[in-house]
Amino acid sequence: MRNKKIRLMIVVVLTAFICSGMILHDYLEKRKMIETALYWGSTGEKVMEVQRKLKQWGYYDGEVDGIYGSKTFEAVKNFQRKHGLKVDGIVGEQTAAAIGIRLDGQAAAYQPSRDGGGNRGDIYLLARLVHGEARGEPYIGKVAVAAVVLNRVKDPRFPNTIAGVIYQPLAFTAVSDGQINLTPDEESLRAARDAMNGWDPTYGALYYYNPAIATSKWIYSRPVHLRIGKHVFAK
Amino acid sequence: MVRWILPAILAVALIITGIWGYSQYRLSRQYGVYMDNLYQKSFYEMVGSVGNIETQLSKLMISDDQGQNIMMLSEIWRHADNAQTNLGQLPLSHLSLERIQKFLNQLGDYCYYLIKKAGEGKPLTVEEMDNLRQLHNSCVRLNNDLRVLENRINEGGVKFEEIHLKGNRQADEVSEDIITRQFTKIEQVGMEYPRLIYDGPFSETVLQGKKVSLTGKAVTQAEANQIAVSFVGKDRVKEVKSSSEGKGDIETWGVYIETRDQESPIYVSVSKKGGKVINMVGDAGKQKARMSIEDARKQGQKLLEERGFPGMTPTYQQYYDGIAVINYAYEEDGIIFYPDLIKVKLSLEDGRLLGFEAMNYWIAHKERKLDEPKLSLEEAEKLVSGEMNIKSSRLAVIPTDSGGERLCYEFRGTFGNENFIVYIDAYTGEEADILKIIDTENGNLVL
């Protein structure tokens, strides 16, 4: 008789124990979800992020002060309405994801660029052109030729990339006769660099020609900016 | 008679054929060059565009502004389109290009979709940011592979007909990588060249359409020569001659100077009005790098002070062949004025001045009266994306695309191991600009 009672008690106690354990666990889970969610009364960094994002996108016009007050509440509801989310004014997982904020958890890995993209290719291409067009000219003449290419890139009448300007049909003789494919010497490389770095002795010239061999009458009508070596630079 | 007419006719026919054959050969060579040029252009355009895509994608990671987002997404979209067009013109087999094409196409479409969303006021969701991150990683890989290919072309001077055979293998390696990218549901795609920021940020915008307004009396060529001599340094000068006058946005006297310390001559431009030195161009050949970059920056400052440019502080630099090119901006009251830009080229061997460029400075430098910023530093800092780790901050005046100026808080920081600078307008709190800095072994590049 006593054994049975004891066993029954044990079963009841165990069951109660398990049940309360489950209830407790459930409660703690809910609390965790609520804890990470943001709602009226929350404060902190995450609230600031929410406010900032909503402000930048025009849903919120209050202070970015990290305090979730009525204005923030309204803004969040507005946002949820627009996005088809449950309109409860609470920033839970779904709302946060839509705003673009992580309440917790890791972002995907980010791979930085190795070489910095950069422009080494452009400098080399420019140097090849300089070498083809201005071999034998004084250094400043080489810089000037490179500067003309860059001026053209900036000008709306010409192609918008360095490659585009250099390879524009009929623009440079060094391109049509293949001289551009010779390996540029070091001086040409340095001249290309100077031009890329902003040195423009021609003050914006777009054309240059050798008066000894130029045939087009039109080119002579362009205002002359500078004369260097064999070349005249004009706009 | 008949006996020598026939061989004569044949001989003439042979000569004519020979001439015709030779001219055909020349023509075909011309065409060969022309075709090769087209391929080269397409290749460089494509490589340029992919590079731009990569930069814009990385900036997108830390931008938080609707306007900026739309701008960057549009840039990516356009560049993806451009890269695709050019890729399609290369003489590589369709199969090996197919996957790169797909990547670019889907990237473009995805960005188009995101632009529409942004236009409706919807910010990037967490999932979309993750996707962009993945796309950025793929882009980095593609970019690196393209650089390798580009170097090979540059070094070997290989013609595209040959690339046709080698390139196929390379391209296959690249596209295999991209297959493993997962693209989530992706919906359904003209060019402003990104600012030429090879020479440091903000150096192009100032010049557009601005006139240099110099004060002072007019100087003669002879006076200009003297000014140039003292600029270069009296004890360095061996010989001075007048050189070509310059016209354009500004009228200058040209001065040609030979120095004792280098073979190559130096050209100095001095403005006709006011006798100001506008620029100095010269090449000293390779130098031995004996100074540290830190010392070079100080040396540049000293050279500038000696020549009447006090208060200039170094911002960005590049070094190669034992030469340093350093950008200096005017600083006053703790605010740095980027439009007032001077570039100094000096030798890392003996610290002497090799080159000088001050056009921007002469255009932009003036007495400025700035209103107090409406935002405090703390308020502005809150407006910077939480993704970025801010390391330092200060006030800065930056030039705008339309030729004006803007007072901003400059925040330098990192994101994913890369360095970025974010500018927040000190009055409106808008994100004015985002720059990415890349530290290479040759100095910093700003994109």
Q: What is the pLDDT of residues B315-343, one digit of tens each?
A: 888 888 889 999 999 999 889 999 899 99
Q: Given an 8 Å threshold on Cβ–Cβ distance, is B122 in contact with A138?
A: no
Instruction: Take residue B129 and report the two structure tokens written for it.
Output: 């940011």
Choices 3.40.720, 3.40.50, 3.10.450, 2.60.40: CATH for B377-446: 3.10.450
Tell me if A100 and B140 make a contact (CB, 8 A cut-off): no
- Cβ separation B33–A177 shorter than 8 A: yes
pLDDT at B434: 85
Structure tokens at B31: 């065409």
| Terminal Cα-to-Cα distance of chain A (whole angstroms) | 115
Closest-CA distance, B5 to chain A, in angstroms, reads: 42
Q: Look at residue B183 in the predicted model and tell me its pLDDT.
A: 21
The pLDDT score that the predictor gives to residue A136 is 87
Q: Contact A133/A149 with Cβ under 8 angstroms?
A: no
CA pair distance A75, B217, nearest whole angstrom: 62
Query: Tokens in use for B404?
Result: 């004006």
B71 close to A (CB below 8 A) = no
Which of B150, B282, B345 is opposite residue A121, by nearest beta carbon? B150
- Confidence band for B267, pLDDT divided at 50, 70 and 90: very high
Residue pair B358/B342 in contact (Cβ under 8 Å)? The answer is yes
Of the given ranges (B193-197, B348-352, B422-426, B427-431), which has the lowest mean pLDDT?
B193-197
The answer to whether residues A132 and A78 belong to one domain is no
| Whole-number pLDDT of residue B445 | 59
- Cβ contacts (< 8 Å) between A91 and chain B: which residues? none
Cβ-Cβ contacts under 8 Å, B445 against chain A: 116, 118-119
HSE-CB for A44 with a 13 A CA cutoff: 10
Can you give the residue range of the structural domain that contains A141? 120-202
Counting residues of chain A whose pLDDT is more than 70, the rounded percentage is: 89
Are the CB atoms for A200 and B267 separated by under 8 Å? Answer: no
Per the structure, the count of domains in chain A is 2
Asked if the C-beta of B129 comes within 8 angstroms of chain A's C-beta atoms, the answer is yes
Select from A175, A203, A227 the Cβ nearest to the Cβ of B248: A203
Does residue A144 sit in the same domain as residue A190?
A: yes
Residues 6+ apart with CB under 8 A from A104: A36
Between residues B278 and A36, the one the model is more confident about: B278
**Does position B23 have pLDDT exceeding 70, yes or no?**
yes
Do A90 and A143 sit in the same domain of this protein?
Answer: no
Nearest CA in chain B to A53: B64
- For the complex shown, is ipTM > 0.85? no
Cα B36 to chain centroid distance, Å, stands at 25
Nearest to B410 by CA among B387, B431, B440: B431
The pLDDT value given to residue B210: 61
A58: in domain: yes
B333: amino acid identity, one letter? D
Q: Give, in degrees to the nearest 5, the angle at Cα B341 between B196 and B221.
A: 105
Q: Does B191 touch chain A (CB under 8 A)?
A: yes
Confidence bin at B446 (pLDDT 50/70/90): low
Q: Which residues of B touch A186 (CB under 8 A)?
A: 285-286, 321
Gap between the Cα atoms of A103 and A97, Å rounded: 9
Within-domain flag for A165: yes
Say yes or no to pLDDT of B206 above 50: no
| Backbone φ and ψ of B172, nearest 5° | -65, -40
CATH of the domain at A74: 1.10.101.10
Residue at A140 is within a domain: yes
Kindly write down the DSSP assignment for every residue of B283-325, as one continuous string: --------S-HHHHHHHHHHHHHHTT-TTEEEEEEEEETTEEE
- Closest Cα of chain B to A177: distance in Å? 7
Q: Could you read off the pLDDT of B91-146 as tens digits, one per residue? A: 665 555 666 777 788 788 888 888 888 887 788 888 888 888 888 888 887 777 77
B181 or B248, which is more confident?
B248
- The confidence band for A34, taking pLDDT boundaries of 50, 70 and 90, is low
Residue A59 region by backbone torsions, left for phi larger than 0, else alpha for psi between -120 and 50, else beta = alpha
The sign of the torsion formed by the CA atoms of A216, A217, A222, A224 equals positive
A7 Cα to chain B: minimum distance (Å): 54
pLDDT band for B410, please (50, 70, 90 cuts): very high
CB contact under 8 Å between A121 and B48, yes or no, is yes
Listed by number, the residues of chain B in 414-443 with a beta carbon closer than 8 Å to a beta carbon of chain A are 415-418, 431, 438-440
Is the confidence at residue B418, as pLDDT, over 60? Answer: yes
The pLDDT, as a whole number, for residue B230 is 93
Span(s) in chain B for CATH 3.10.450: 377-446
Strands B418-425 and B405-415: antiparallel
pLDDT band at B250 (very low <50, low <70, confident <90, very high): confident
Binary contact (B44, A162; C-beta < 8 A): yes
Contact A167 B41 (CB under 8 A): yes
pLDDT of residue B10: 92
Between CA A124 and CA A116 the distance in angstroms is 16
Domain for residue A220, yes or no? no
Question: What was the pLDDT predicted at A102?
Answer: 73
* Beta carbons of B329 and B341 less than 8 angstroms apart: yes
CA distance A111 to chain B (A): 5
> CA nearest B211 in A: which residue?
A203
Residue at B378: amino acid letter: E
Q: Say whether both A150 and A94 belong to one domain.
A: no
- Whether B262 contacts chain A with CB within 8 A: no
In this model, does residue B188 exceed pLDDT 50? no
CB burial of residue B132 (10 Å; 0-12, 13-18, 19+): buried
Round to whole Å and give the CA distance between B106 and B131.
Answer: 12
Residue in chain B nearest A228 by alpha carbon: B244
* Per-residue pLDDT band at A61 (split at 50, 70, 90): confident
Does residue A129 share a domain with residue A171? yes
Q: Is residue A112, in this structure, part of any structural domain at all?
A: no
**Residue of A149, A154, A161 to mutate when probing chain B, most B C-beta within 10 A:** A161
Is A177 within a domain?
A: yes
Is the residue at A228 inside a domain? no
The CATH number assigned to the domain holding A148 equals 1.10.10.2520
CB contact under 8 A, A201 and B269: yes
Q: How many Å apart are CA B84 and CA B67, to the nearest integer?
A: 26
Shortest distance between the Cα of A110 and any Cα of chain B, in A, equals 6
Establish if B286 touches chain A: CB-CB under 8 angstroms: yes
Q: By mean pLDDT, which of A76-85, B218-227, B336-345 is the weakest?
A: A76-85
Q: Is A216 a member of any domain?
A: no
Report d(CA B121, CA A90) in Å as an integer.
20
Whether residues A132 and A195 share a domain: the answer is yes
Closest CA to B420 of B49, B51, B57, B58: B58
Name the nearest CA neighbour of B177 among B135, B138, B147, B134.
B138
Nearest to A77 by CA among A125, A29, A104, A39: A39
CA distance A183 to chain B (A): 7
pLDDT of the residue at B208:
52
Instruction: Assess whether A53 and A98 both reside in one domain.
Output: yes
Whether the pLDDT of residue B175 is over 60: the answer is no
CA–CA distance, B92 with B166 (Å, rounded to integer): 10
- Min Cα distance B99 → chain A (Å) is 21
pLDDT digits (tens, 9 = 90+) for B270-321: 999 889 999 999 988 888 888 888 899 999 999 999 999 999 999 888 888 8
Residue B324 burial (C-beta neighbours within 10 Å; 0-12, 13-18, 19+) = buried
- pTM of the prediction? 0.71
Q: Are B336 and B397 in contact (CB under 8 A)?
A: yes
> Which candidate from A48, A100, A225 shows the least CB-CB separation from B247?
A225
Q: To the nearest whole number, what is the mean pLDDT of chain B?
A: 80
